[in-house]
Amino acid sequence: MSHNLAEKVLQAHTDEEITRAGQIVTCRVSLVLANDITAPLAIKSFKGMGATKVFDRDKVALVCDHFTPNKDIDSAEQVKVVREFAREMGVTHYYEGGDCGVEHALLPELGLVGPKDIVVGADSHTCTYGGLGAFATGMGSTDIAGALALGETWFKVPPTIRVEYDGVLEPFVGAKDLILALIGRLGVSGALYRALEFGGPVIDNLSIEGRMTMANMAIEAGGKVGLFPADAKTLAYCAAHGRTGDKALKADPGAVYEQELSLSVTGMSPQVACPHLPDNVRPVDELKNLRVDQAVIGSCTNGRIEDLREAAAVLKGRKAHKNVRLIILPATPKIWRQAMEEGLFSIFLDAGAVVGPPTCGPCLGGHMGILAGGERCISTTNRNFRGRMGSLQSEVYLASPAVAAASAVAGEIMHPGKL
C-alpha cells in the first residue's frame, strides 16, 4: 500500500505490515539517546529491568548537555552516574566536556542520524532529526531504558498532517518563522499524537539546518515527529558528515493524509511567539515598545553556524543596547570553532555579547542566563512556558536569530529591517 513518510520509515523497521494510522507496531531502533537530566532515570529503570548490557553499544548516544559544564554539585553527581554507566557499558558515543554539544545539533554533525532511521531520545526535541528524514521522537526515561535493553520499542502509527509551503520568502524570514507561523495556526495541541510532513517549493529550497530548525519545533504543536523528505541536499549533508549508504526518501504517490494544509509565505513577516505558549504567534511588526533585558541566541533550534551567521549579519558594526544582556551559545564545539575562524566572534564581542560554551543552559532555566522577576527575554529557543527561563514573573519571546539580534541592538523587539 501507499505510505506517507512516517509510515514508510516505520515500515522499514518492522516485520508487521503497516496498513493504517492507529495501528500499534514494534520497531527496531537505529539510535537511542539520553542526556544528563534524563539518563540517570533511564539507568535506574534499565537496572530495575535486570538488563546487564545495552542492545548495541554503537547505537547509544549519551550527551551531557543540559546542566553542563556542571552547574552545581547535584548536576555533577548526575553526570557522574551517566559517565560511569557509559564506561560500564562501553558506550561508544558518550559526550561531555570538550567534545560535547547540544545533543540535537551534535548528533547530525557526527553523522549518527540519517534518512529512514528511527531515533528515540529521552528528550522531547529528538524530533529535530526529522529534518534529515528520520522518524525521530522524544520519550521518557523508562521507555528509553526499554529501548536501550531491547533495541526496539512500540509505536502507535500516527495520522499525518501534510504541510506545503509555497511562495517567496521575504528578507529576514526563514525556517524559524515558517515553523512559528505553522504552530500559530495549528495551536500547541493541533498536531497532538500526529506526524507533521513538510513539503513544497519553499521546503525544497530550505537548507538542512533550516529543516532541522523546523522539525525541532514539531513537538511544540504536540506532534510526534516532523518529517522532511530526504533529497539530494540531505544526501550531500549526510555524506559530508561521514555517512555512507543513505538513500533518498519520499512519500509514496497516493499516500493517505488526515489533513493537508498549505501556507503561502509571500509577504510574511518575521514571526514571534509571545508569552506564555509557542502558539501565541504574531508578526514582529505588531509588537511595539516591548523592551528586552536579555537576548539569547543558541539552542537545538537555532545554535547552528547558519544561525550564528544570520545573527552576525545583523550585529556587524552594531552594539547591543546598554540595557540588554546578549548571550550567544554556539551549539557544538565544531560550530564554535567555525564561528571563531569565520570572524563571527569579533562581531559578537564588538557588539558586547557574552559568547558561552555549547550548552542547553538558559533555554530550560538551567543556568547561564536565568531571568529575574519582571524581566523579558527575546530568545531563539523553542519554549516560552511561564517560568521556563527563570522567574515565574519573567517573559520569553521566541524568534529567529535575526530578530533576536536586532532586538538586542534596539533594546526592544524589532524587525531586523527597521534597525
Partner 1 sequence: MLVTGKVHKVGAHIDTDAIIPARFLVTTDSEVLGANCMEGLEPGWVKRVQKNDILVADENFGCGSSREHAPIAILGAGIPVVVAKSFARIFYRNAYNMGLVLLEVGDDAGKLHDGDKLEVDLDAGQIKNLTTGETIVCAPVPQSMQDLLDAGGLVPYVKKRLAEKQ
What single DSSP character describes residue 242?
Answer: T
Q: Which residues, numbered 6-25, are part of the site for partner 1 (CB under 8 A)?
A: 24
Characterise 234 by phi-psi region: left (phi > 0), alpha (psi -120 to 50), beta (else). alpha
In the block, which residue shows the cell 505558549? 277
Within its chain, how far is the Cα of 407 from the centroid?
22
In the block, which residue shows the cell 514494534? 26
Per CB under 8 A, the list member of 18, 31, 41, 311 interacting with partner 1 is 41
End-to-end CA distance of the chain: 53
The answer to whether the bond into 69 is cis (omega within 30° of 0) is yes
Q: Which residues, numbered 223-282, are part of the site for partner 1 (CB under 8 A)?
A: 224, 277
Residue 122 in the binding site for partner 1 (CB under 8 A): yes
**150 near 169, Cβ under 8 Å?**
no
Per CB under 8 A, the list member of 14, 92, 142, 338 interacting with partner 1 is 142
Residue 157 in the binding site for partner 1 (CB under 8 A): no
Whole-number Å distance between alpha carbons of 386 and 363: 12
Residue 374 in the binding site for partner 1 (CB under 8 A): no
**382 near 216, Cβ under 8 Å?**
yes
The nearer residue to partner 1, 31 or 353, going by C-beta atoms, is: 31
The nearer residue to partner 1, 44 or 316, going by C-beta atoms, is: 44
Give min distance, CB of 34 to partner 1, in A: 10
User: What residues does 119 pair with on adjacent strands?
Assistant: 31, 136
**385 near 275, Cβ under 8 Å?**
no
Residue 328: name the closest of 270, 369, 364, 289 by CA: 369
The nearer residue to partner 1, 184 or 416, going by C-beta atoms, is: 184
Residue 27: name the closest of 41, 6, 58, 1 by CA: 6
Per CB under 8 A, the list member of 72, 253, 254, 341 interacting with partner 1 is 72
The answer to whether the bond into 115 is cis (omega within 30° of 0) is no
Helix (H) or strand (E) holding 107: helix 103-109
Residue 123 in the binding site for partner 1 (CB under 8 A): yes
Binding string, 271-300, against partner 1, x = CB under 8 A?
Answer: ------x-----------------------
Per CB under 8 A, the list member of 28, 44, 80, 309 interacting with partner 1 is 44
Give min distance, CB of 74 to partner 1, in A: 3
> Do strands 225-227 and 195-199 pair parallel, antiparallel, or not at all (unpaired)?
parallel
Per CB under 8 A, the list member of 386, 393, 418, 419 interacting with partner 1 is 386
Give min distance, CB of 197 to partner 1, in A: 17
Whole-number Å distance between alpha carbons of 249 and 154: 23
Give the binding range for partner 1 (CB under 8 A) out of 196-204, 296-304, 309-317, 361-369.
361-369
Per CB under 8 A, the list member of 57, 83, 364, 417 interacting with partner 1 is 364
Give the binding range for partner 1 (CB under 8 A) out of 147-155, 234-242, 315-323, 351-359.
147-155
Query: How many residues lie near partner 1 (CB under 8 A)?
Result: 51
What single DSSP character describes residue 92?
Answer: S
Assign 209 to helix, strand or coil.
helix
Per CB under 8 A, the list member of 8, 116, 383, 415 interacting with partner 1 is 383
Residue 69 in the binding site for partner 1 (CB under 8 A): no
In the complex, the residues that contact partner 1 under the rule CB under 8 A are 24, 37-38, 40-41, 44-45, 48-51, 66-67, 72, 74-75, 77-78, 121-124, 126, 138-143, 145-146, 149-150, 154, 188-189, 192-193, 219, 222, 224, 277, 364-366, 383, 385-388, 392
